[in-house]
Amino acid sequence: MNPALLEWRVLADADAVALAAARLIIQAAAESIEQRGRFRLVLAGGRTPEAAYRLLAHQAIDWTRWECYFGDERCLPVDHAERNSQMVERALLSQIPLAPGEVHPIAAERGAEEAAAAYARIIAAAVPFDLVLLGVGEDGHTASLFPGRPLDPEAWVIPVHDAPKPPPERVSLGLRGLQSSRHLLVLATGAGKREALRGWRAGAALPIAQVCRDQRVTLLLDEAANPGTGTAVS
Ligand code: 6PG
């Protein structure tokens, strides 16, 4: 990782991380729309980004130029409460006037292999993305790329059959898919993420570190997740 490309911002708490994330997403959207007429955003699953999504949903934004994709999805029925698409729908998409054709969910209900092949075709027409949102697991995973599994640098979208974080069956953008973005925004809050961030900073080949290699990366973390020296921002 070129240190010049990684911005590490420590904020007071999870609410401050959510606010900073929403502001950064809005800024990225404005720049992308001004320069290219579109904003192609890859949404993260899990719990961390939900507060930022809820803040975004109440902004007076021109949503007509937004296209939303997903970094990963769990192989569950479409209406299952544990689907990442359900969380994003509740927190953001149900609140904003995005055209139906501008939201591109991963059809993980069709099974990991079939859904991964289908999604690779969808994102082939969308890359490079403007912003990819990522969470971090306590083991350093991101999206559904988990430690201890070789990561193919050329993989756009991969099926996952043995995820240690339930459910085991998932679909994830692969290294190349996640890296095909002008900017990566990583969100990490809570003491449970501290060791993963410590390992990332120390150079461990964690999935989050392998994804965030040669692009512009902004890591927003709260004090609870902070493993030590970092530039504190109010
Ligand atoms: C998922 C996410 C996963 C998540 C991390 C962090 O499907 O669970 O894609 O990668 O971002 O596990 O999860 P939290 O934000 O809930 O801590």
Q: Which residue has the tokens 């949404």?
A: 43
Evaluate if residue 230 carries a pLDDT over 60.
Answer: no
Q: How close is the Cα of 188 to the center of ligand 1, in Å?
A: 10
Cα dihedral 226→31→62→183 (10° resolution): -40
Q: How close is the Cα of 101 to the center of ligand 1, in Å?
A: 25
Q: Which residues contact 128 (CB under 8 A, 6 or more apart)?
A: 40, 180, 181, 182
Evaluate if residue 232 carries a pLDDT over 70.
Answer: no
**CA distance to 22, 61, 82, 108, per residue, from 190 (Å):** 18, 30, 21, 29
Q: How close is the Cα of 134 to the center of ligand 1, in Å?
A: 8
Give the integer Cα–Cα distance in Å for 63 and 4.
32
Q: Which residues contact 125 (CB under 8 A, 6 or more apart)?
A: none
Tens-digit pLDDT profile for residues 189-213: 999 999 999 999 999 999 999 999 9
Tens-digit pLDDT profile for residues 111-145: 999 999 999 999 999 999 999 999 999 999 999 99
Pocket test residue of 17, 75, 141, 219 for ligand 1, highest count of atoms within 8 A of CB: 141
- Which tokens go with 11? 């904020």
165 C-beta closer than 6 A to ligand 1: yes
Give the integer Cα–Cα distance in Å for 86 and 117.
22
44 C-beta closer than 6 A to ligand 1: yes
Q: How close is the Cα of 183 to the center of ligand 1, in Å?
A: 19
Amino acid at 151: L
- Looking at the DSSP bridge assignments, the partners of residue 52 are none
Residue 171 in contact with residue 112, Cβ under 8 Å?
A: yes
207 C-beta closer than 6 A to ligand 1: no
Cα four-point dihedral sign 67, 89, 23, 156: negative
| Residue nearest atom 1 of ligand 1, based on CA coordinates | 46
Amino acid at 93: L
pLDDT class of 100 with cuts at 50, 70, 90: confident
198 C-beta closer than 6 A to ligand 1: no
Average pLDDT over residues 80-89: 98
Tens-digit pLDDT profile for residues 62-72: 899 999 999 99
Evaluate if residue 164 carries a pLDDT over 80.
Answer: yes
Give the integer Cα–Cα distance in Å for 222 and 128.
29
Cα four-point dihedral sign 202, 203, 205, 208: positive
